[in-house]
Amino acid sequence: MLVERLAAVVSTEDPPERVVSVAREVIATLTEAERIAILNAHPRIGADVRALSDLSRAEQGTDADADTLRELAELNEAYERKFGFRFVVFVAGRRKRDVVPALRSRLERSRDVELATAIEEFLRIAGARLENETT
């Protein structure tokens, strides 16, 4: 849904900033269910690296020890139970153990605040990926 709507108003020649700006505008018109579908399309932080796309694997890295992976799995489950959508964060090469405090902190938020934060994190990821494609 998002890709189709973006394709109608942006081109591959547009700079990443414009694409992200237009994406933000389009997302603002989507239903909550559609916004959640965007977030749920992302892999869990700490997911089995064999199940990740090349981009996600490169962004998430493979640095986690078994205790960190177990903690991330538990926190991801708690997050999804509380909010009803996947935890999305701009990792940008951070170690998985460095993401744990962010996940814990975001579990303390309200659902509305967290949905808005997760969408902004999605847009940061998209912007970084687009920027990497143009460099």
Mean pLDDT, range 64-82, rounded to an integer: 92
Q: Indicate the range of 14-18, 35-39, 61-65 predicted with least confidence.
A: 61-65
How far are the Cα atoms of 16, 45, 66, 85, 131 from residue 40, in angstroms, in the given order?
A: 23, 12, 24, 6, 23
- What stretch of H or E contains 122? helix 111-134
- What stretch of H or E contains 35? helix 32-40
- Looking at residue 79, its pLDDT comes to 98
- The answer to whether 106 and 87 are in contact (CB under 8 A) is yes
Residues of the domain holding 43: 2-134
3-state SS, residue 99: helix
Burial group, residue 30, by CB count within 10 angstroms (0-12, 13-18, 19+): middle
Q: For residue 129, which phi and psi values (nearest 5 degrees)?
A: -65, -45
- Where residue 60 falls among pLDDT bands split at 50, 70, 90? low
- Where residue 50 falls among pLDDT bands split at 50, 70, 90? low
Kindly report the CATH number assigned to the domain that includes residue 108. 1.10.3330.10
Spatial distance between the Cα atoms of 69 and 125, rounded to a whole number of angstroms: 22
Query: For residue range 78-132, what is the model confidence (pLDDT) as tens digits?
Result: 999 999 999 999 988 788 888 999 999 999 999 999 999 999 999 999 999 899 8
- Domains held by the chain: number: 1
Spatial distance between the Cα atoms of 106 and 86, rounded to a whole number of angstroms: 12
The model carries a pTM of 0.87
